[in-house]
Amino acid sequence: MTSIETPDWVRDAVFYQIFPDRFASSTQVPKPSNLESWDSKPTVFGFKGGDLLGVAERLDYLQDLGVTAIYFNPIFQSAANHRYHTHDYYQVDPILGGNDALRKLLDESHRRGMRVILDGVFNHASRGFFQFHHILENGPASPYLDWFIANKHPLRPYHCEKGQHGYEAWWGLPALPKLNTATPTVREFLLDVACYWLEFGIDGWRLDVPAEIDDDEFWETFRLRVKSTNPDAYVVGEIWHDAGRWLQGNQFDAVMNYPLARACLGFFVGDDLNQEEVAKCGYHSIDSLDAPSFAAELDRLLNLYPQPITEVQFNLLGSHDTPRFKTLARGDDSAYRLATLVQMTYPGAPSIYYGDEVGLEGGHDPGCRGGFPWDDKAWDRGLWEYVRRCISLRQAHPALRRGDFEHLFAGHGVVAYGRSLGIDSLVVVLNSASKPETLDLPVAGYLGDGVILQDVWSDARFTVTGGHISGLPVPARSGRVLSVAESV
């Protein structure tokens, strides 16, 4: 196998995922009149009127939090609030401000050193997509007939029963006709879209359901075209399971690391998980994990793919496709705090789903897609400060972004591991138990006797003696991080 190259900037990135209709709205973008109230409960079909200039106007907020990169759910012209039903791949939705708004957002983000990746929906289009509409109007005579897989005419795009509309569609949903990527003109169209927006200035693509395009050659060509346009572009796929097939260095740079989110939910929430909500999303079910099982899963995930891939995995705790973490944890903030500490101290690029950092709750779609509460009186300010502090910790220590990972201890509801790069060495301790623990933490082989460690968030200091950090208190449902202050 040739050497695997992944974008170096991702190793240092902290992502923030934005659902464009629900994050922020600018008065500079004209709006239609029939919009939902911003603070009302989100609905399946309703629009709240968020836009890209609204995001541009809130970049100070993101930078203050520590965010360095944004992942946007789809922004192209669509008749759906989530915009996975693409009408025009070359036009930003006018409700979001159009192409000019994206230009302003990219310019302002890049001026601040922030990256932007977009959602690429290349498996399916929509009933309003021009080439599909052409078939609806002209039937088998349409020159675009082979852009889709039609098996019965006339097509019935508004037929309610799945599979009875005369063409292949994603999950049988008639609103999402599946593109026929075996057709050369379709392949070239999608590749051109990918390169067009990279040339426009975006920094990469998050690929929606790429496994549905079951064609290695297509994705290999996609990578070649993308990297030839921008060698630094990030290509991350939405695959919820073992993605080794796509992560050999010739297709994707990384995937959305849902297995890490599952592990955090299984360990930090465990038996208290809201399994009814879990069952409604792609998780289906999540088993409780004890400390040794959680540690073993962290190690397994680190060894699943080649190291250059692992270092740029998209490490999320929630997304538009899952109930919010706090809802799955039945309101337990300590679970989210512990999971966030893992995110910020584990290899890969952490991603915050908009609003999680202020305690936003919501069940499965559409509940997890509520409007961001810009009245900070509605925030959990302590949670926001904690997330910001964890991000700052990650940014202050190269070892947390690029260092080696070493398992140190697992038991009694506690997991501890080390991160090291050169002289920068840290110990991360996570106590998921409902009672405090005082540890005799073994570090022989990782830290030598006489090394002094400083708690990164307090004045406490500890010395390695006899291969152990003795008398290390860890409060219940909490974590602490120690950094090497002096070594001998």
Identify the CA nearest to 63 among candidates 336, 337, 392.
392
> What is the rounded CA–CA span in Å between residue 4 and residue 119?
24
Residue 476 has a pLDDT of 98
C-alpha to C-alpha distance for 278 and 265, rounded to whole angstroms: 10
Contact 472, 436 (CB under 8 A): no
What is d(CA 288, CA 235) in angstroms, rounded to the nearest whole number? 32
Q: What pLDDT, on the 0 to 100 scale, is given for residue 341?
A: 98
Q: How many CB atoms within 10 Å of residue 158?
A: 9
172 vs 170: CA distance, rounded Å: 5
CB 234 within 8 Å of CB 10: yes
Query: Do the Cβ atoms of 14 and 345 come closer than 8 Å?
Result: no
Q: What is the pLDDT of residue 2?
A: 64
Low-confidence ranges of the chain (pLDDT < 50): 1
Question: Residue 134's beta-bridge partner residues?
Answer: none
Q: Residue 487 contacts by C-beta under 8 Å, 6 or more apart in sequence?
A: 423, 447, 448, 450, 451, 452
Spatial CB neighbours of 228, under 8 Å, sequence gap ≥ 6: none
Residue 411: enclosing H or E segment and its boundaries? Answer: strand 404-411
Residues in the chain: 488
* Residues catalogued as catalytic: 208, 238
Distance CA 179, CA 170 (A): 9
Tokens for 146, please give them: 């082979």
Kindly report whether the global pTM for this prediction surpasses the value 0.85.
Answer: yes
- The per-residue pLDDT for range 182-241, each reduced to its tens digit, is 999 999 999 999 999 999 999 999 999 999 999 999 999 999 999 999 999 999 999 999
pLDDT digits (tens, 9 = 90+) for 88-109: 999 999 999 999 999 999 999 9
User: How many H-runs (helices) and E-runs (strands) does the chain carry?
Assistant: 15, 18
